[in-house]
Structure 1
């Protein structure tokens, strides 16, 4: 495990600072609590974003992804328009990772593959594409509109609904018979859902260990090691801001730790959340020995679907450091590679 990779580039301008939300107390009065703007969504800004993108003349002839991304970023600078965006500092590292991994959603690299509109149930079909899970039809419509403007309508398949049941039913929904697996996954939604959704994907056989034929070094050298790997790569955003100790514990845990955790009964209520390290140097060892007990709680947003996962899968993880694109606060993505499956 390596410490958080610090991005030496200057932080972006602070278009947004801390926000306040109002929480209902037990006595039915309200209290203000400063939180990050990442909780702000679903108030009409998604519809406003799509309307704005569709009004821009420079986006009318499918100019590609970058002009659309630039327009989304500019929109997010406005008052009450904070958007949950990976940003260009963390995004640069992820782009490098994608260019090395060459996942099967890049039509220029995989022009002869079969894309979502034409998928069948044939397990030997050379399927390619990008699957986007969207919580609501509003979010789906916004994503679909931006994707069409970028000229990627044939490449991306949008599935609408809560993430956990959507993942549980994904093979049936999209004609993805076993042993088809994902080669790259990007996780960026409600933080307590990260671990449960990953465990569901493990159960459904959507996570692939590195091929036995691959020559894999035990020590990972940040992103460069991914070039030769064929195992599923999982990129999880916002693991520093606001943080996700339970998820980091899970992908950093040894199989025996996860097996011991599964032997315990599930939790009926959310346990106290472990705080982030106060010193960036502590990220090197943070959460390697816990708090796995937090993963025994299933968030209500999982809609009753609880994943047990596959505790025998072994991951190796490192962080891509960067900044929040609007507040200038340090953040990072956790990059985990599924290395192998151990015998229990």
Structure 2
């Protein structure tokens, strides 16, 4: 199912260059935010923080954020379903952590885990989250996503996930989802939100979440040594929600709901 999108409106981010991250712009963003002439009004105001990040992306350099258009889809999910616990895989500079962490807090949620591999990006996230006044809700976890998920389970800091936002290395979408299935983080009612399923695209992930239980079982049986087994008995209902990158390029988010477990 494809949901209708509005046309892209407003000023786009700067064009995406050949090298568009991890070249110092993330630290430049911090200087931009903390040196902003409206810092006093921005501090403690999540929306003003997002506006300032967007301002940097529009006037200085491109940032690979989810952006205001696609993030609205997920904010609406949070408002509707009122999750207690949300986990994101891949936090970059904290745009999603601020947007979704604020929505989670306003909806009565308890904890937002932002898992980020790059320690410098994680430090940026922490400072941006603090600027937004969300440090009591958002917890930044540094390290490989799979290792962080295992550690959170081992330390009993994470029992289940209400909404899982996937926005890290595209090849890790399936393996980390299957790991979450193995760890029993995914249950009936859990929602998965996967970004960038058009740009750059992620056909293997889309195939998996759109497959029936029988199709997933057959695929698992055909693999000699599956890298990550997962739980093929989980039933998923998936929707393709069109949207836009902040640069104005068309993209989409795949919204998938676990509706139950098939036992026979």
Post-superposition shift, 1:173? 4.0
5 Å matches for 1:202-217?
Answer: 202-209=181-188
* Cα offset, 1:254, TM superposition: 0.9
Equivalent of 2:68 in 65, 88, 96 = 88
Instruction: For 2:222 and 2:37, locate their aligned partners in 1 and report how far apart those are by CA, in whole Å.
Output: 58
Say if 1:108 and 1:77 are closer, same or farther in 2 by CA, change over 3 A: closer
Deviation at 1:60, TM superposition (A): 3.9
Q: Deviations over 1:98-139 (max 9, x none)?
A: 1101112633443xx7xxxxxxxxxxxxxx200000112101
Alpha-carbon distance in 2 for matches of 1:14, 1:64: 23
Question: Which residue of 2 is the match for residue 184 of structure 1?
Answer: 163
TM-score by length of 2: 0.85
CA distance in 2, matches of 1:333, 1:45: 26
Q: Which runs of 5+ in 1 are unaligned?
A: 22-39, 114-127, 210-230, 268-295, 297-305
Look up the match of 2:93.
none
Shift of 1:15: 3.9
Report the Cα distance in structure 2 between the residues aligned to 1:16 and 1:152, rounded to whole angstroms.
28
Matched position secondary structure for 2:105: coil
- Does residue 343 (structure 1) correspond to residue 263 (structure 2)? The answer is yes
Q: Residue 167 in 1 paired to residue 149 in 2?
A: yes
Number of the residue aligned with 1:6: 4
Higher relative contact order (CA 8 A, sep 6+): 1
In structure 2, the residue matched to 1:66 is 47
Greater percentage in helix: 2
User: Structure 1: how far apart are the matches of 2:134 and 2:255?
Assistant: 25
TM-score by length of 1: 0.66
Larger radius of gyration between Structure 1 and Structure 2 = 1
Give the whole-Å Cα distance in 1 for the aligned partners of 2:223 and 2:173: 20
Task: Say if 1:46 and 1:173 are closer, same or farther in 2 by CA, change over 3 A.
Answer: farther
Aligned residues: 245
Which stretch of the first structure deviates more once superposed, 330-339 or 255-264? 255-264
Candidates 194, 203, 207, aligned match of 1:236: 194
